[in-house]
């Protein structure tokens, strides 16, 4: 009987991680918001339980890109639903059960800017480990270009957390749009940072990060696929790419010019990476990127 204990403990651990509550009261998402007035770091917090149409839901307070979205959600069997106050009904927001090749439709309330729904497709799935928690990730993209009113593109969905850009994916038809997600925190999993560990959740960590914000250094796209581009007029000495475990996996130090740099990354697997740019004065710029 003793020989079964480790196996049973493993099964229990995996089940516990999968069964963690979505948006427990106190859970907080911190984002980065670019707008003409400047950059700030809005938060969204699960503030209380509430009952709507006989469903035990979470009421969210804080910044929402779209004022027409009612900030009430609930989770059931790996699916997250949000409440549409106008139609007095719930609609699917996330489905953590979906795998590569599958899709889901997100309802857009009030047919904002002529859109009444958005279809997302799962390109692939993976895992993200933080604080000992193993979370499923879904790399997704919209089915089509929904016009100039829609700013959405490839995204990553974290199990029990949500999108790496906007909590409500419908926010891509709003202006301004939050994103990317910098930090998530709740009493069960603790603080999860999607920025370097020494960077605060709600402010720029250093003059180096301000270089990125002020457009002195532009690293794109994010998420990326096979290439990373770096636009800068600053003199770059070296570029390093680290995986989520902090292991150096790529280093470049041979540049012909100092304005646009192209890095080929076809060999990288999907997941979280940190790009470290070392300037001629030995200062460093670190940016988090996702490969899908």
Is residue 200 situated within a structural domain?
Answer: no
Answer whether residue 198 is part of any domain.
no
The answer to whether the CB of 31 falls within 8 A of the CB of 182 is yes
Structural domain range at position 117? 2-193
User: Is the same domain home to 221 and 123?
Assistant: no
Contacts of 287 (CB under 8 A, 6+ apart): 212, 219, 222, 274, 275, 277
Cα(110)–Cα(84) distance, rounded to whole angstroms?
Answer: 9
In sequence order, the β-bridge partners of residue 160 are none
pLDDT band at 177 (very low <50, low <70, confident <90, very high): low
Closest residue by Cα to residue 29 from 12, 6, 47, 13: 47
Measured distance CA(66)–CA(22) in Å, rounded: 21
Are both 45 and 150 inside the same structural domain? yes
Query: What's the number of domains the chain is made of?
Result: 2
User: Is 239 part of a structural domain of the chain?
Assistant: yes
Task: Say whether both 241 and 122 belong to one domain.
Answer: no
pLDDT-derived band at 260, boundaries 50, 70, 90: low
Residue 169's pLDDT is 79
Residue identified by tokens 């953590």 is 96
81 and 144, same structural domain? Answer: yes
Residues 224 and 179 in one domain: no
- What would the mean pLDDT of 106-130 be, rounded to a whole number? 80
Q: What is the CATH number of the domain that holds 241?
A: 2.60.40.3080
Residue 219's CB: how many other CB atoms inside 10 A? 22
Single residue among 146, 163, 193 that ends a domain in this structure: 193
Task: Write out the two tokens for 76.
Answer: 């059931």
* 167 and 234 within one domain: no
pTM over 0.95: no
Who wins on pLDDT, 185 or 115?
A: 185
The answer to whether residue 37 sits within a structural domain is yes
Quote the CA–CA distance of 65 and 62 in Å, as a whole number: 10
Domain check: are 154 and 280 in the same one?
A: no
pLDDT tier for residue 259 given thresholds of 50, 70 and 90: low
Look at residues 17, 42, 289 and name the one whose alpha carbon lies nearest to residue 164: 289
In a domain, 201, yes or no: no
Q: Note every long-range contact of 159-167, with CB atoms under 8 Å and residues 24 or more positions apart, other chains counting.
A: 159/18, 159/96, 159/135, 160/20, 160/21, 160/22, 160/96, 160/135, 160/189, 161/29, 161/135, 161/192, 162/29, 162/80, 162/94, 163/94, 164/194, 164/290, 166/31, 166/65, 167/29, 167/44, 167/60, 167/64
- Please tell me the distance from the alpha carbon of residue 66 to that of residue 178, in angstroms, as a whole number: 10
SS3 252: strand
Considering the domain architecture, whether residues 123 and 90 belong to the same structural domain is answered as yes
Are 188 and 220 found together in one domain?
no
Range scoring the smallest mean pLDDT among 95-99, 160-164, 268-272: 268-272
pLDDT in tens, 206-219: 544 445 544 467 78
Contact between residue 231 and residue 212 where contact means Cβ atoms under 8 Å apart: no
- Report if residue 124 sits inside a domain: yes
Q: Say which residues have a Cβ less than 8 Å from residue 182's Cβ, sequence separation at least 6.
A: 30, 31, 32, 41, 193, 194, 195, 201, 202
Residues 35, 168: one domain? yes
152, 167, 193 - which closes a domain: 193
pLDDT at 1: 38
Alpha carbon distance 80, 126 (integer Å): 19
- 117 and 261 part of one domain: no
Point out the domain boundary residue: 193, 215, 241. 193
Together in a domain, 188 and 49 = yes
User: For the segment 68-108, what is each residue's pLDDT rounded down to a tens digit?
Assistant: 678 899 999 999 999 988 889 999 999 999 999 999 998 87
The encoded tokens of residue 197 equal 């560990």
More confident residue, 226 or 68: 226
Distance of CA 38 to the CA centre of its chain: 21
């Amino acid at each position: 009987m003793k020989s079964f204990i480790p196996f049973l403990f493993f099964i229990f651990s995996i089940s516990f991680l999968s069964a963690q509550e979505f948006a427990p009261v106190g859970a907080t998402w911190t984002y980065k918001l670019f707008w003409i007035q400047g950059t700030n770091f809005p938060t969204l917090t699960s503030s209380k339980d509430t009952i709507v149409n006989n469903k035990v839901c979470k009421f969210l307070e804080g910044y929402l890109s779209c004022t027409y979205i009612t900030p009430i959600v609930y989770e059931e069997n790996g699916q997250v639903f949000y409440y549409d106050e106008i139609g007095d009904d719930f609609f699917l927001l996330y489905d953590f059960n979906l795998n590569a090749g599958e899709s889901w439709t997100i309802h857009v309330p009030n047919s904002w800017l002529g859109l009444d729904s958005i279809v997302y497709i799962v390109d692939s799935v993976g895992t993200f480990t933080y604080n000992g928690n193993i979370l499923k990730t879904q790399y997704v993209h919209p089915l089509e270009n929904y016009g100039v009113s829609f700013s959405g593109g490839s995204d990553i969905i974290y199990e029990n957390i949500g999108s790496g850009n906007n909590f409500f994916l419908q926010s891509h038809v709003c202006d301004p749009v939050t994103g990317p997600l910098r930090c998530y925190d709740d009493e069960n999993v603790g603080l999860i940072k999607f920025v370097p560990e020494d960077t605060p959740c709600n402010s720029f960590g250093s003059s180096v990060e301000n270089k990125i914000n002020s457009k002195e250094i532009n690293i794109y796209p994010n998420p990326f696929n096979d290439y990373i581009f770096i636009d800068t007029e600053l003199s770059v000495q070296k570029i390093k790419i680290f995986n989520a475990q902090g292991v150096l996996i790529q280093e470049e130090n041979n540049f012909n010019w100092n304005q646009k740099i192209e890095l080929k990354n076809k060999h990288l697997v999907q997941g979280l990476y940190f790009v470290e740019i070392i300037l001629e004065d030995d200062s460093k710029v670190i940016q988090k990127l996702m490969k899908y």
